[in-house]
Amino acid sequence: MNSPTHRPFRILGLQQIAIGGPSKARLRMLWVELLGLPLQGSFRSERENVDEDICVLGHGPAAVEVDLMEPIDADKKPAVHTTPLNHVGLWVDDLQQAVQWLSAQGLRFAPGGIRQGAAGHDICFVHPKGNELFPLGGEGVLIELVQAPPAVIAAFDGKG
């Protein structure tokens, strides 16, 4: 096991929160209509059983996505609506290095590997629970690691 001081990547900040429910319309009423978050886009994936609206909180590279999700089929998995706070997304400066290093430390990742996410960034998920092969997990929380674009990395480094 490597020492955490030799970590080959940095977590740069909160990229998103994802909120699931049986009705995206009700979530939109709260977050968009009542709280005033601007609607930035939408995403639908049969494979991930999700229909989501993408809102944004804040401006520039430090803006945080607020994803409002409902299942396409409430009887199928993943069940994006069964945990109201579905997952948190963290910006990472080198996703490939992070996955490689964290796996070597015993962190379990959810199936699917690194792939393009709803906002167009490369992503992967830390599984909420460890198992025999990978004993560490998100301690009950699904964590999305998101490859930070150059503007976010520059802002974190004080260059943007």
Positive or negative, the Cα torsion across 137, 140, 142, 146?
A: negative
Q: Which fold has domain 8-156?
A: 2,3-Dihydroxybiphenyl 1,2-Dioxygenase; domain 1 (3.10.180)
Q: Which two tokens stand for residue 9?
A: 């990547």
Categorize the per-residue pLDDT at 4 as very low, low, confident or very high, splitting at 50, 70 and 90.
low
Residue 117 is classified by DSSP as -
What's the pLDDT score for residue 140? 85
Q: What is the mean pLDDT of residues 123-129?
A: 95
Q: What is the mean pLDDT of residues 136-153?
A: 92
What's the pLDDT score for residue 3? 57
What's the pLDDT score for residue 1? 53
| Helix, strand, coil distribution of the chain in percent, nearest 5 | 20, 35, 45
CA 94 to chain centre: 15
For the entire predicted model, the pTM comes to 0.80
| Residue-wise burial string across 76-88, b where 16 or more C-beta atoms lie within 10 A, e elsewhere | eebebbebeebbb
Residue 134 to residues 39, 100, 101, 110, 141: CA-CA distances in angstroms? 38, 13, 13, 11, 16
Q: Decide if 91 contacts 10 (C-beta within 8 A).
A: no
In this predicted structure, the answer to whether residue 14 has a pLDDT above a threshold of 70 is yes
Mean pLDDT for the chain overall: 92
Q: For residue 154, what is the enclosing H or E element? A: helix 150-156
Strand segments, DSSP code E, in 21-152 are 39-45, 50-57, 64-70, 85-92, 115-116, 122-126, 142-147
